[in-house]
Amino acid sequence: MCLILFAYNMHPKYPLILGSNRDEFYHRPTAQAHYWEDHPHILAGRDLSKMGTWMGITTGGRLAAVTNYRDPNEEVQAKGSRGDLVADFLKGTSTPEKYIQHAERIRNEYPGYNLLVGDPDDLYYYSNVGNVVMKLKPGIYGISNHLINTDWPKVKRGREGLEKIIQGEDEDTLTEQMLGLLQIADPSVDELLPHTGVPLEWERLLSPIFVRSEKFDYGTRASSVVLMNREEVFFTEMVHQNGEVMEQRFNIKPLNWTS
């Protein structure tokens, strides 16, 4: 996933409004968002290559998401899958704070990443590159493939768009507005592009909120929106390769763990 936009404790009805785009090679095998057969309380897509996920939520109100930190010179072959960080939090019972502290202790076992984990009480962010644990305060945030709120064009535009959405009065179309924001495909001008070590053609390709390239077999595979308060969750995923939209609403309930 290459973009996460979220408003935390900024809306009167939904303390967490989150939209995310997963950018990936089109040929990489993926399962669309569903309740996992082996962990039925998890609602998420699944990377069928490594069996982790980029973003998901549980029926108990636990949420996690991850993005890669872009560093083309980093050696990643001998390290773990970043999608496991999301899946392990969703499977577990530790608080977001304790899980982030655990991630900090094992930070060298994974390639560069940004990790967001939370529940109805707290929301935390950690990057093993920046190596600073952050308990998030109310605000509007964006995470792409650098540190949180880095002023890349797609992050800046996304945060500005999200701010306009939550300031509007049309509460009934929040999901539709978020999906519209996540599909803005206008590229940045070259003068504003970041310099992350990839060729200029790739910097241009990756600069919009919504990415697509048949030439490189790469782009935004799915867009997801989460509206969450202490009582309920609305989860929507749009898969762009087939146009399917999945919508789920559920009341948050604690899990009855037997072991």
**Interval 83-121: pLDDT, tens:** 999 999 999 999 999 999 999 999 999 999 999 999 999
Q: Do 54 and 1 meet the contact criterion of CB atoms below 8 Å apart?
A: yes
Nearest to 131 by CA among 161, 154, 152, 110: 110
Give me the average pLDDT of each 10-residue run along the chain (259 residues).
94 97 96 96 95 97 97 88 97 96 97 97 97 98 98 97 92 95 97 95 97 96 97 97 93 64
Strand positions, DSSP E, the chain: 3-8, 16-25, 30-35, 42-47, 55-58, 63-68, 113-118, 123-127, 134-135, 139-143, 212-213, 218-228, 232-239, 245-251
Q: How far apart are CA 130 and CA 116, in angstroms?
A: 14
Residues in the chain: 259
